[in-house]
Amino acid sequence: MYQIVTGPLLWLSFAIFFGGCLFHVINYFKGLDSRVDRVTYKVNTRHGVRAALRSIGVWILPFGTRSWRVKPGYTLLFYLFHVGALSVPLFASGHAVIITQRWGLNWPSMPDMLADALTLGVMLAVFGIFIRRLILPEVRIISSGWDWLTLAISAAPFFTGFIAYHQLGSGHFWTLAHILFGEILLIAVPFTKLFHMVLFFCTRIQIGMDFGIKRGGMKSPGFPW
Protein backbone atom coordinates (compact mmCIF):
# COMPACT_ATOMS: atom_id res chain seq x y z
CA MET A 1 0.00 0.00 0.00
CA TYR A 2 2.81 2.41 0.90
CA GLN A 3 4.46 1.86 -2.48
CA ILE A 4 1.18 2.65 -4.25
CA VAL A 5 0.40 5.90 -2.40
CA THR A 6 4.00 7.12 -2.68
CA GLY A 7 4.30 5.97 -6.31
CA PRO A 8 1.48 6.01 -8.87
CA LEU A 9 -1.01 7.91 -6.67
CA LEU A 10 1.56 10.57 -5.83
CA TRP A 11 2.45 11.17 -9.47
CA LEU A 12 -1.22 11.18 -10.44
CA SER A 13 -2.01 13.82 -7.83
CA PHE A 14 0.93 15.96 -9.02
CA ALA A 15 -0.24 15.63 -12.64
CA ILE A 16 -3.82 16.65 -11.77
CA PHE A 17 -2.63 19.54 -9.58
CA PHE A 18 -0.17 21.09 -12.03
CA GLY A 19 -2.20 20.22 -15.14
CA GLY A 20 -5.44 21.55 -13.67
CA CYS A 21 -3.84 24.76 -12.41
CA LEU A 22 -2.14 25.40 -15.74
CA PHE A 23 -5.42 24.80 -17.59
CA HIS A 24 -7.29 27.31 -15.41
CA VAL A 25 -4.55 29.95 -15.67
CA ILE A 26 -4.45 29.72 -19.46
CA ASN A 27 -8.24 29.91 -19.65
CA TYR A 28 -8.31 32.87 -17.29
CA PHE A 29 -5.99 35.01 -19.38
CA LYS A 30 -7.49 33.81 -22.65
CA GLY A 31 -10.89 34.88 -21.31
CA LEU A 32 -9.85 38.50 -20.84
CA ASP A 33 -11.52 40.63 -23.49
CA SER A 34 -8.81 42.06 -25.74
CA ARG A 35 -11.00 45.11 -26.39
CA VAL A 36 -11.43 45.88 -22.70
CA ASP A 37 -9.19 43.98 -20.28
CA ARG A 38 -6.00 43.77 -22.34
CA VAL A 39 -6.14 47.12 -24.11
CA THR A 40 -2.82 49.09 -23.93
CA TYR A 41 -1.11 46.34 -21.89
CA LYS A 42 1.49 45.76 -24.61
CA VAL A 43 1.97 49.48 -25.18
CA ASN A 44 2.44 50.46 -21.53
CA THR A 45 4.05 47.29 -20.25
CA ARG A 46 6.42 49.00 -17.82
CA HIS A 47 3.61 50.79 -15.98
CA GLY A 48 1.48 47.65 -16.00
CA VAL A 49 4.15 45.33 -14.59
CA ARG A 50 5.08 47.81 -11.86
CA ALA A 51 1.44 48.17 -10.84
CA ALA A 52 0.86 44.40 -10.97
CA LEU A 53 3.79 43.77 -8.62
CA ARG A 54 2.55 46.48 -6.28
CA SER A 55 -0.95 45.00 -6.31
CA ILE A 56 0.39 41.59 -5.31
CA GLY A 57 2.70 43.07 -2.69
CA VAL A 58 0.15 45.14 -0.78
CA TRP A 59 -2.30 42.23 -0.64
CA ILE A 60 0.31 39.75 0.57
CA LEU A 61 1.51 41.99 3.40
CA PRO A 62 -0.52 41.69 6.63
CA PHE A 63 -2.75 44.74 7.03
CA GLY A 64 -1.40 46.13 3.76
CA THR A 65 -4.90 46.98 2.52
CA ARG A 66 -8.01 48.46 4.04
CA SER A 67 -9.81 45.10 3.66
CA TRP A 68 -7.26 43.49 5.98
CA ARG A 69 -7.36 46.34 8.48
CA VAL A 70 -11.14 46.43 8.98
CA LYS A 71 -11.17 42.75 10.05
CA PRO A 72 -7.99 42.29 12.10
CA GLY A 73 -9.12 39.05 13.76
CA TYR A 74 -9.87 37.35 10.47
CA THR A 75 -6.64 38.73 9.01
CA LEU A 76 -4.61 37.07 11.77
CA LEU A 77 -6.40 33.76 11.22
CA PHE A 78 -5.90 34.06 7.47
CA TYR A 79 -2.17 34.66 7.74
CA LEU A 80 -1.67 32.09 10.49
CA PHE A 81 -3.28 29.48 8.26
CA HIS A 82 -1.56 30.41 5.01
CA VAL A 83 1.95 30.81 6.41
CA GLY A 84 1.80 27.33 7.92
CA ALA A 85 -0.05 25.79 4.99
CA LEU A 86 2.64 26.94 2.55
CA SER A 87 5.81 26.58 4.61
CA VAL A 88 5.28 23.25 6.42
CA PRO A 89 4.63 21.10 3.31
CA LEU A 90 7.63 22.65 1.56
CA PHE A 91 10.18 22.77 4.38
CA ALA A 92 9.26 20.18 7.03
CA SER A 93 12.37 18.10 7.71
CA GLY A 94 10.63 14.81 6.88
CA HIS A 95 9.55 16.17 3.50
CA ALA A 96 13.04 17.55 2.84
CA VAL A 97 14.56 14.12 3.50
CA ILE A 98 12.16 12.48 1.03
CA ILE A 99 12.91 15.09 -1.65
CA THR A 100 16.66 14.60 -1.15
CA GLN A 101 16.39 10.81 -1.28
CA ARG A 102 14.09 10.76 -4.32
CA TRP A 103 15.51 13.50 -6.48
CA GLY A 104 18.93 14.21 -4.99
CA LEU A 105 18.13 17.86 -4.27
CA ASN A 106 19.74 19.62 -1.33
CA TRP A 107 16.35 20.79 -0.10
CA PRO A 108 16.22 23.28 2.81
CA SER A 109 14.28 22.37 5.94
CA MET A 110 12.97 24.12 9.03
CA PRO A 111 13.54 23.03 12.64
CA ASP A 112 11.05 20.43 13.83
CA MET A 113 9.87 22.67 16.67
CA LEU A 114 9.01 25.41 14.19
CA ALA A 115 7.18 22.93 11.94
CA ASP A 116 5.24 21.73 14.99
CA ALA A 117 4.31 25.28 15.98
CA LEU A 118 3.19 26.17 12.46
CA THR A 119 1.18 22.95 12.19
CA LEU A 120 -0.60 23.74 15.44
CA GLY A 121 -1.14 27.26 14.12
CA VAL A 122 -2.81 25.89 11.00
CA MET A 123 -5.14 23.70 13.05
CA LEU A 124 -5.94 26.60 15.39
CA ALA A 125 -6.68 28.84 12.39
CA VAL A 126 -8.93 26.19 10.84
CA PHE A 127 -10.85 25.95 14.11
CA GLY A 128 -11.18 29.74 14.19
CA ILE A 129 -12.41 29.84 10.59
CA PHE A 130 -14.88 27.06 11.41
CA ILE A 131 -16.28 29.02 14.37
CA ARG A 132 -16.41 32.20 12.30
CA ARG A 133 -18.51 30.47 9.66
CA LEU A 134 -20.87 29.21 12.33
CA ILE A 135 -21.47 32.41 14.27
CA LEU A 136 -21.43 35.10 11.56
CA PRO A 137 -24.71 35.04 9.60
CA GLU A 138 -23.21 36.81 6.57
CA VAL A 139 -20.54 34.09 6.31
CA ARG A 140 -22.73 31.13 7.30
CA ILE A 141 -25.34 31.90 4.63
CA ILE A 142 -22.78 31.68 1.81
CA SER A 143 -21.02 28.57 3.18
CA SER A 144 -22.10 25.49 1.25
CA GLY A 145 -21.39 21.86 2.00
CA TRP A 146 -18.47 22.02 -0.41
CA ASP A 147 -16.97 24.88 1.60
CA TRP A 148 -17.10 22.82 4.80
CA LEU A 149 -15.60 19.83 2.97
CA THR A 150 -12.84 22.01 1.52
CA LEU A 151 -11.98 23.26 5.00
CA ALA A 152 -11.75 19.66 6.25
CA ILE A 153 -9.57 18.65 3.29
CA SER A 154 -7.27 21.58 4.02
CA ALA A 155 -6.84 20.61 7.67
CA ALA A 156 -6.57 16.81 7.32
CA PRO A 157 -2.93 16.59 6.10
CA PHE A 158 -1.73 18.71 9.03
CA PHE A 159 -3.80 16.84 11.62
CA THR A 160 -2.67 13.41 10.39
CA GLY A 161 0.92 14.57 9.89
CA PHE A 162 1.12 15.85 13.47
CA ILE A 163 -0.19 12.55 14.82
CA ALA A 164 2.13 10.49 12.60
CA TYR A 165 5.22 12.52 13.51
CA HIS A 166 4.57 12.29 17.25
CA GLN A 167 3.55 8.61 16.99
CA LEU A 168 0.33 9.15 18.90
CA GLY A 169 -1.19 6.04 17.32
CA SER A 170 -0.31 3.46 14.72
CA GLY A 171 2.59 5.08 12.91
CA HIS A 172 2.03 3.18 9.67
CA PHE A 173 -1.70 3.98 9.55
CA TRP A 174 -1.30 7.70 10.25
CA THR A 175 1.60 8.03 7.82
CA LEU A 176 -0.52 6.51 5.05
CA ALA A 177 -3.44 8.73 6.04
CA HIS A 178 -1.17 11.78 5.96
CA ILE A 179 0.09 10.98 2.48
CA LEU A 180 -3.38 10.17 1.15
CA PHE A 181 -4.92 13.35 2.54
CA GLY A 182 -2.03 15.34 1.10
CA GLU A 183 -2.73 13.82 -2.32
CA ILE A 184 -6.47 14.49 -1.96
CA LEU A 185 -5.62 18.12 -1.17
CA LEU A 186 -3.49 18.43 -4.31
CA ILE A 187 -6.20 16.88 -6.46
CA ALA A 188 -8.88 19.13 -4.95
CA VAL A 189 -7.10 22.40 -5.69
CA PRO A 190 -8.06 22.77 -9.40
CA PHE A 191 -11.68 21.78 -8.70
CA THR A 192 -12.54 23.79 -5.58
CA LYS A 193 -12.12 27.25 -4.09
CA LEU A 194 -8.64 26.14 -3.07
CA PHE A 195 -7.65 27.24 -6.55
CA HIS A 196 -7.54 30.75 -5.11
CA MET A 197 -3.92 29.98 -4.21
CA VAL A 198 -3.19 30.44 -7.94
CA LEU A 199 -6.12 32.62 -8.96
CA PHE A 200 -5.04 35.26 -6.42
CA PHE A 201 -1.97 36.07 -8.49
CA CYS A 202 -3.94 36.08 -11.77
CA THR A 203 -6.53 38.54 -10.47
CA ARG A 204 -4.03 40.79 -8.69
CA ILE A 205 -1.92 41.00 -11.86
CA GLN A 206 -4.98 41.87 -13.94
CA ILE A 207 -6.40 44.40 -11.47
CA GLY A 208 -2.98 45.93 -10.81
CA MET A 209 -2.34 46.42 -14.51
CA ASP A 210 -5.84 47.76 -14.97
CA PHE A 211 -5.37 50.43 -12.29
CA GLY A 212 -1.78 51.08 -13.29
CA ILE A 213 -2.54 51.80 -16.93
CA LYS A 214 -6.18 52.61 -17.49
CA ARG A 215 -7.38 54.18 -14.24
CA GLY A 216 -4.96 56.99 -13.65
CA GLY A 217 -2.05 54.88 -12.45
CA MET A 218 0.29 56.41 -15.03
CA LYS A 219 -0.44 59.87 -13.59
CA SER A 220 -0.97 59.16 -9.90
CA PRO A 221 1.59 57.55 -7.54
CA GLY A 222 -1.00 55.58 -5.56
CA PHE A 223 -4.17 53.53 -5.84
CA PRO A 224 -7.22 53.55 -3.54
CA TRP A 225 -6.64 49.99 -2.25
Tens-digit pLDDT profile for residues 5-18: 877 888 999 999 99
Mean pLDDT, to the nearest integer, of 24-47? 74
What is the predicted pLDDT for the residue at 222?
55
Mean pLDDT, to the nearest integer, of 84-113? 89
- Is 224 a domain residue? no
The DSSP annotation for 138-205 comes to HHHTT--HHHHHHHHHHHHHHHHHHHHHHT-S-HHHHHHHHHHHHHHHHHHGGGSGGGHHHHHHHHHH
Q: How many domains does the chain have?
A: 1
- Is 207 a domain residue? yes
CA atoms of 70 and 88, how far apart (whole Å) = 29
What is the predicted pLDDT for the residue at 225?
45
> Bigger pLDDT: 159 or 42?
159
Mean pLDDT, to the nearest integer, of 171-183? 91
- Is 139 a domain residue? yes
Mean pLDDT, to the nearest integer, of 89-112? 88
Most confident of 52-61, 104-113, 181-190: 181-190
- Is 61 a domain residue? yes
- Is 110 a domain residue? yes
Q: Is 80 exceeded by the pLDDT of residue 159?
A: yes
Tens-digit pLDDT profile for residues 60-77: 888 878 888 888 888 888
Q: Can you give the pTM of this predicted structure?
A: 0.84
- Is 223 a domain residue? no
What is the predicted pLDDT for the residue at 5?
83
> Bigger pLDDT: 175 or 46?
175
118 near 158, Cβ under 8 Å? no
- Is 220 a domain residue? no
> Bigger pLDDT: 64 or 92?
92
- Is 225 a domain residue? no
CATH number at residue 13: 1.20.950
Residue spans of alpha helices (H) in 34-111: 45-60, 66-69, 72-91, 93-103
Share of the chain above pLDDT 70, in %: 90
Range of the domain at 105: 2-214
